Chains A and B, each alone.
Chain A
Amino acid sequence: MADESKAPQSPESSQPATPGATPASPAAAALPSPAAKPAAAPPPPVQVPLENELTRRYRERFGRAILDAIEDRKQAILIVDIAQFLEIARYSRDTEKFDLLEDYTAVDWPRREKRFDLVAQLYSFPNNVRLRLKTAIGADQTADSLTSVWPVANWLEREIFDLFGIAFQGHPGLKRILLPDEWQGHPLRKDYDILQQDTAWVRENLGIESGQ
């Protein structure tokens, strides 16, 4: 439902619907209208297209690889093509001065064709601005490792590999980091139940029937 490609459109489509609905409800209850007013006013769209100098430079440089630029709650998000993710990352660091990879994680959208989103939070010390890079990646795809751009990505990518099962090409030592090396399954995937565990591993290594 909250698919990335749909999200920017949904506020647009809801906008014409709400003015049509609002006259009906205050008319039915005229007395509490001051209280009802803030609720009845059409909510401002939370995600809007983003058009500024920064996105213009990215679009100029990478053209069609910049799939979308949106602003969500005043935070800038660039949705980019996985094929050029590494180049865009390097450009972000070298030219746009995003020298800190503050965080790097993934999100699982199991019903989507490209199942995962990789999400990188960038911060620029010289400019004091943030930018979020997002890219969709299929379950059978591997991403280019960002460790050559930001060494901090090393453990962050290992964590993504561990908990989501996304592999990174060019990573210096890709293996699990939080779970045991032999563990089966990737817990942060949506199809991994909250009570699920690698029962065989637990039985073999802890000598108990269940870790629950």
Chain B
Amino acid sequence: MADTVRDNDLHPTDTLLGADELVLNMGPQHPSTHGVLRVKLKLDGERVIGSECVIGYLHRGVEKIAESRSYQQFAPYVDRMDYVAAVSNGLGYCEAVEKLLMAEAPPRAQVIRTILAELQRIASHLLWLGTHALDIGALTPLFYCMREREEILKIFEKYCGARLTTHAFRIGGLQYDAYDTLEKDVERFCKDFERRIQEYSDLLTGNSIWIGRTRGIGLLNAEDCIALGASGPILRASGVKWDLRKAMPYAAYSQYNFEIPVGTRGDTYDRYLVRLEEMRQSRLICLQAIENIPAGPIMARVGKVLKPPPGEVYHSIEAPKGILGYYILSDGGTQPYRVRIRPPSFINLQALDKMVRGHLVGDVVAIIGTLDIVLGEVDR
């Protein structure tokens, strides 16, 4: 027993380390943890037998801040949670407050919101693909993905002046109407993008190193996904054909045809295929949406000072990373009584422990990548 070490922090049930076991700290300053995630790995040789995530390094108390801001003032804060998909965060928040006000954005605003949200999904998936491939050792896709992502960010910049933390939407609709060449820009991007997705696919899908590093890694079956609350592409890769855009349509999604891609095995490779196909589907949604952007106002009449009737609302959307929910309580005042954000990254990250057990340390990097977490959203 002399060579056992106590580590009370790791797992209350198995705190004793055997002779071949050690605890390895990964992060918070580690390039493949995509931010400031610290993972304590309990290893037997190079095999992971337990893990614990240490998070909170980016905690800014977003939910607390909400309670001392007006509804409009809080909107830019949500952009800073999942900062690679700010448009989606804003969409969820604006729609939740609109529900609380029992107002609805005009059709034109809905369609423009849908276009931008789908472009954002592509941009978020591109960043994921580039960095995920880089983590595993493929350098080239990063440059390709960044190149296309740049085109999307340029569209955002032309639309609202910002590239990342866009604050693109307002409660009740939009502040800016579509600029003159928005449809053309989106069309040009989408036309070109089909070929680009094929390029990524050519680089990776049949690549034996890629398959070797991702096939059978980080398995998560449908049952575990649901029990652990994992949503978005992770859930779909496990074979659950479920997408909030279809199940409970919001914005203008009910008007468009698109498929929900699903995987069969629930491993890292399937999640890659699902996200790749999701980009194709988002592209199709954009192409359908720009064909017919209805004319009309872009802002509902919600008033300058928002005082929602007392009560509460929960609204969630299919963000690029999964279910993004907002639970907002109003006491009738100008500031929300409570804003609760259900972040997809935070809840998906909880599945990490289940996914890494039994794998090698090198696979942990692949599994963190496949979860597609953004620490700004995990810690809020």
Contacts and interface: CB of A to CB of B under 8 A. Distances in A.
Contacts of B61: 187
Given A154-B350, A172-B12, A194-B64, A100 B313 contact: no
Contacts of B314: 75, 103, 121, 130, 132
B228 A73 contact: no
A165 to B, nearest CB: 14
Nearest to A150: B227
A17 to B, nearest CB: 15
Interface in B310-328: 310-314, 316, 323, 325, 327
Given A128-B248, A180-B56, A151 B228 contact: yes
A40 interface: no
Contacts of B330: 2
Nearest to A11: B309
A72 B311 contact: yes
Nearest to B340: A105
Nearest to B378: A178
B12 A173 contact: yes
B229 interface: yes
Given A46-B309, A187-B61, A103 B102 contact: no
B104 interface: no
A92 B184 CA distance: 49
B342 A102 contact: yes
Given A2-B332, A194-B68, A179 B311 contact: no
Interface residues of A, number: 43
A72 B313 contact: yes
Interface centre among B59, B311, B325, B379 (most CB of A within 10 A): B311
Contact of A102 (B59, B102, B242, B323): B323
Nearest to A180: B56
Interface in A171-185: 172-173, 176-180
B58 to A, nearest CB: 9
Contact of B229 (A10, A100, A119): A100
A155 interface: yes
A178 B59 contact: yes
A50 interface: no
B56 A119 contact: no
Contact of B310 (A2, A103, A130, A180): A2
Contacts of A46: 102, 309-311
B331 interface: yes
A179 B59 CA distance: 8
Contacts, number: 103
Interface string B216-251: 000000000011110000000000101000011000
Interface in A139-176: 150-152, 154-156, 163, 172-173, 176
B55 interface: yes
B248 A178 contact: no
Interface string B340-359: 10100011001000000000
A94 to B, nearest CB: 13
Interface in B361-380: 379-380
A180 B240 CA distance: 37
Nearest to B59: A178
Contacts of A155: 346-347, 350
A76 to B, nearest CB: 11
A35 to B, nearest CB: 11
Contact of B325 (A43, A103, A151, A194): A103
B99 interface: yes
Contacts of B55: 177-178
Given A107-B338, A177-B55, A178-B56, A152 B311 contact: no
- Which 6 pairs, one residue from A and one from B, show the smallest C-beta to C-beta distance? A152-B229, A2-B331, A178-B56, A103-B342, A2-B310, A105-B340
22 contacts: A1-B332, A2-B310, A2-B311, A2-B332, A7-B310, A46-B311, A72-B313, A100-B226, A102-B323, A103-B327, A103-B340, A119-B327, A121-B314, A130-B314, A151-B227, A152-B227, A172-B13, A177-B55, A177-B56, A178-B379, A188-B64, A192-B64
Interface of A: 1-2, 7, 10, 43, 46-47, 72-73, 75, 77, 99-103, 105, 107-108, 119, 121, 125, 128, 130, 132, 150-152, 154-156, 163, 172-173, 176-180, 187-188, 192, 194
Given A150-B227, A150-B229, 8 more contacts: A2-B329, A10-B310, A72-B313, A105-B327, A128-B247, A178-B56, A178-B379, A194-B67
